[in-house]
Structure 1
């Protein structure tokens, strides 16, 4: 029992280290954009000069594309060979990627291309570490405790997100890039050593290509009918809450400063972090589908309320002069509360959803491939969402970003409910069969 507990702690640490590196890069991305300044340095590829807008987009898209390409081979390797070795390899790739960032000379032409390549390497590392750590947690845990342990692993990731998003900017102002990335390298190195020492070799071997079998699994297909739509919802809402809080009123936002915006972001993550272990334990007891349905539907309803933050604040007469934040409009406190409620809603959905994929892939069927399918189902919505959100914000209005996001979550849970009713019949059995 003690050995298994140490293995869980080691895997939780990898989630923390990976989450800290990821959120730090996201937080510092505006600084890199200013320093790299692609408007001044043309990026030639095969005789073509890429536009500054394309290059800036690739700072994020290069990471996402690398993640998408890496999912299938890494998941297959995890099932076919030792997941522990794949995890160690991913952590080592992450160490190399984060060590490269402070070495990039932002003053020379072509630095943008090197930055995109480093981001792509980071994408491979993040994908491999996430897939393998969750797969190992899913296999180590028994079915009756799986969502609880996955909730704890996710809580470690959210703790890193909260700490990283609050500290990265301040550390950069004080110390610059190199000490921050040195800290990330140290964290990943410690996690690598702990995984090497304490996590037992994975003896499960799955021959063939388990993706093909799991893609037809009824439960995976059912929850994927929800997840594909929910990806649009989460990408829109999670991305546009800080945009709504920070952009100018002329663009449909509330024009808050950076600290107020960070409060709205960290509130969601903090609430999610606190509750996931507990909601995961409840999911182990009462079933996966009910929690996915409840959490996803609640998320959609809360998202629909976000554009009404000013009206809610005015109606209840909330305070507007807050410590450390200064004078703000009445919309701030309702927006912060709604952001926290979004985190609470998603804390019901996420560990139950992850545990379901782990349930269906465990027992030698291919748990890494099961998580890989989960990742792939999310990708189209996560790509379409930002493009759709940008168009809605510019052409229709800021509020419609949240209306479409909320509606996507609600149609997702209704689609899943329809499939469950078709297979399990009406009544409580539809949501409690699994």
Structure 2
């Protein structure tokens, strides 16, 4: 293996370490709520502080990555992460936890943004989606490992052991970046966001992505809610291990498929994969509320090994969520590679990924509020119907803008 190819592996590890740290805190959040017994407002701040810090960090970090050596910005993000996760072991109040979560938002954004920017810049156009798919697969592997491992490690050894593992991963990733990733010599003067914000291809992608953020956030957030809440609230009332299995199915199929679907989009065109993946996601989302009907039609059992008595809709729901992972794996590496293509060609790959992050934010923030209203006022099924419909609207808008702005053959030529 040549030295150029070796550069990708520390970046994949960086993606894994950052994702593991993020999922670990999500997994342990109920423990902190129990420990500090905060008010409802403070519980909201536990998540809002993280999201707000992420949003505020995108532009300055992306600018710094394009203006200076991305490797140094990435190492700075890893350094902040090491300090933050060590600091979590000393947190002793709700206020301290809110501040630590905000700092975590900065390190997660820095490692994700710079890691992806370096992967996109190091890869050739013909292999870019494949390498991005591998980086995303590492993130999904971290999601599975963090979800399953963090709780068990906490139960066995407490918070300190969990954060020692996260810190160790970040240290190893940093050493790998220093040892194998070459200095980034690209220097972009000025403020690349200004030009890229008017880039016709990025505007076309954003017409899809802004809507798709609502669809994915609704569906991804409400699948575990649908699985776990009681039948009286419109859910299936599954036990926690069953809910965890349902959630893991989407991450597992996404992890397995992304390197392969990324390679296919490198060969056959990226826009087509964005269109197909988005449409398939909407179709599967519409099927989620019908999983009990599917189970009844197939006469599936209500007792399973390990899980014991569980709703017969368990298996159809696992399959549906797995298919949602497959659908997203078709779309995501192709979409990310398109952003990387434009950033590399026009100058400012970090800023291009920054725009991608910012376009996603409004939908991801508003969708949970919309889902809560739909669940309370209309019913659980309506959340998935709206999510699927918005996904269809996104792909229809994408196709319309793509054809109008770039020609009728753009779907297969991009």
* C-alpha contact 1:204 1:364 (8 A) present in aligned 2: no
Structure 1's unaligned 5+ residue stretches are: 39-51, 106-110
**What is the alpha-carbon distance in structure 1 between the residues aligned to residue 407 and residue 337 of structure 2?**
23
Correspondence for 2:369: 387
**What is the alpha-carbon distance in structure 2 between the residues aligned to residue 254 and residue 103 of structure 1?**
39
Q: How does 1:171-186 map to 2 (within 5 A)?
A: 171-186=153-168
Structure 2's unaligned 5+ residue stretches are: none
Q: Tell me the TM-score normalized by structure 1.
A: 0.94
**What is the alpha-carbon distance in structure 2 between the residues aligned to residue 231 and residue 423 of structure 1?**
22
**What is the alpha-carbon distance in structure 2 between the residues aligned to residue 79 and residue 104 of structure 1?**
34
* C-alpha contact 1:302 1:338 (8 A) present in aligned 2: yes
Equivalent residue in structure 1 for 2:399, among 404, 412, 417: 417
Q: How does 1:97-108 map to 2 (within 5 A)?
A: 97-105=84-92
* C-alpha contact 1:158 1:270 (8 A) present in aligned 2: yes
Correspondence for 2:237: 255
1:358-385, CA deviations, whole angstroms, 9 ceiling, x for partnerless residues?
Answer: 0000146100000000000000000001
**What is the alpha-carbon distance in structure 2 between the residues aligned to residue 274 and residue 319 of structure 1?**
28
Say yes or no: does 1:129 pair with 2:111: yes
Residue 319 of structure 1: how far off its partner (Å):
2.9
Q: How does 1:52-91 map to 2 (within 5 A)?
A: 52-91=39-78
Say yes or no: does 1:277 pair with 2:259: yes
Q: How does 1:17-416 map to 2 (within 5 A)?
A: 17-38=17-38, 52-105=39-92, 111-363=93-345, 365-416=347-398
* C-alpha contact 1:307 1:402 (8 A) present in aligned 2: yes
* C-alpha contact 2:246 2:318 (8 A) present in aligned 1: yes
**What is the alpha-carbon distance in structure 2 between the residues aligned to residue 103 and residue 158 of structure 1?**
29
1:136-185, CA deviations, whole angstroms, 9 ceiling, x for partnerless residues?
Answer: 00010000000000000000110111111111111111111110111100
Correspondence for 1:48: none
* C-alpha contact 1:245 1:254 (8 A) present in aligned 2: yes
Q: Tell me the SS of whatever aligns to 2:124.
A: coil
**What is the alpha-carbon distance in structure 2 between the residues aligned to residue 406 and residue 79 of structure 1?**
36
**What is the alpha-carbon distance in structure 1 between the residues aligned to residue 306 and residue 150 of structure 2?**
19
Aligned length: 414
Q: Tell me the SS of whatever aligns to 1:412.
A: helix
Q: Tell me the SS of whatever aligns to 2:237.
A: coil
Runs of 4+ in structure 1 over 6 Å off: none
1:11-37, CA deviations, whole angstroms, 9 ceiling, x for partnerless residues?
Answer: 000001111111111011111111111
**What is the alpha-carbon distance in structure 1 between the residues aligned to residue 178 and residue 49 of structure 2?**
30
**What is the alpha-carbon distance in structure 2 between the residues aligned to residue 304 and residue 231 of structure 1?**
16
Q: Tell me the TM-score normalized by structure 2.
A: 0.99
